[in-house]
């Protein structure tokens, strides 16, 4: 049931996160496989992240989110955790879109050289 | 003073966000230029995002964060906003790192073809 829901809604599988023993699916196509189950700390909270990605990748993701939240907090001490996390997400999506533009240019250059 | 701090701490400039008339710097190298000052709604809160990026880019970033938060919330109604935003950030950083791997491969392929 869970994986069927996930199959319908999310285009690609990445991983799901367990908070207080409840599972929160981020997105996915594949059935849940608990290949890597890693507990990480992000901004003072424990999250168990389960996914097909390597433990190193999952730890790196968690570490970068934690680091970015602390970095923004240190400059804006009055920012509450929720807005801090939104701002962290805003930054990450900004970085993603900028990198996507770069990757698209690289792909075009590569295609041009291959033609 | 603000820009000096920013210069020291953040490696590259992206944009800063104003919440309740207070400015929250995400990161930056350049002085603040209020070239584009866009108010966007992310998950029921208003954020004024100021940056050198185009208004379209800023709106796209905000829209993607809002969309992802609502998507995760719809599947996990009991998730509080703070954890929801952290999970959104986790997803965005995951996507970023995966795309970074892809971009690095493209760069290597391009370099190989040029050599």
Selecting from B60, B94, B103 the residue whose C-beta is nearest the C-beta of A106 gives B103
B115 pLDDT above the threshold of 90: no
Burial per residue of A18-40, b for 16 or more beta-carbon CB atoms within 10 angstroms, e otherwise: ebeeeebbbbbeeebeeebebeb
- Identify which of B17, B25, B87 has the shortest CB distance to residue A24: B87
- How close is the nearest chain B Cα to the Cα of A103, in Å? 5
Q: What is the mean pLDDT of residues B79-87?
A: 87
| Residue of higher predicted confidence among B9 and B114 | B114
| pLDDT tens-place string over residues A16-52 | 565 555 555 555 444 445 467 888 899 998 888 877 7
Residue B83 in this model has a pLDDT that exceeds 60: yes
Pairing of strands B45-51, B15-19: antiparallel
Banded model confidence at residue B20, pLDDT cuts 50, 70, 90: low
| Mutation target among B40, B79, B90 for the A interface, most CBs of A within 10 A | B90
Helix or strand (DSSP H, E) at B94: helix B81-114
- Do the chains contact at A86 and B24, CB–CB below 8 Å? no
Contact A65, B92 (CB under 8 A): no
- The answer to whether residue A70 scores a pLDDT higher than 70 is yes
Work out the pLDDT band at B79, boundaries 50, 70, 90. Answer: confident
Asked if pLDDT for residue B65 goes beyond 90, the answer is: yes
**Residue A30 confidence (pLDDT):** 47
**What is the pLDDT of chain B when averaged over all its residues?**
74
| CA distances in angstroms from A85 to A91, B42, B90, B105, listed in the order given | 10, 12, 10, 30
In this prediction, residue B81 has a pLDDT band, given cuts at 50, 70 and 90, of confident
Average pLDDT of B84-103?
Answer: 88
Across A55-77, average pLDDT: 89
pTM exceeds 0.80 for this model = no
pLDDT band at A5 (very low <50, low <70, confident <90, very high): very low
Best mutation target among A54, A78, A90 (most B Cβ atoms within 10 Å) is A90
Q: Determine the average pLDDT of the residues in B41-56.
A: 84
């Amino acid at each position: 049931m869970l994986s069927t829901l996930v199959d319908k809604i999310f285009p690609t599988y990445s991983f799901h996160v367990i908070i207080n023993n409840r599972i929160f699916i981020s997105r996915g196509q594949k059935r849940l496989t608990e290949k890597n189950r890693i507990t990480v700390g992000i901004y003072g909270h424990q999250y168990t992240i389960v996914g097909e990605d390597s433990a190193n990748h999952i730890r790196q993701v968690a570490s970068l989110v934690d680091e970015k939240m602390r970095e923004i907090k240190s400059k804006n001490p009055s920012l509450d955790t929720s807005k801090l996390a939104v701002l962290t997400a805003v930054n990450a999506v900004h970085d993603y879109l900028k990198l996507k533009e770069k990757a698209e240019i690289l792909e075009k250059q590569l295609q041009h050289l291959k033609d």
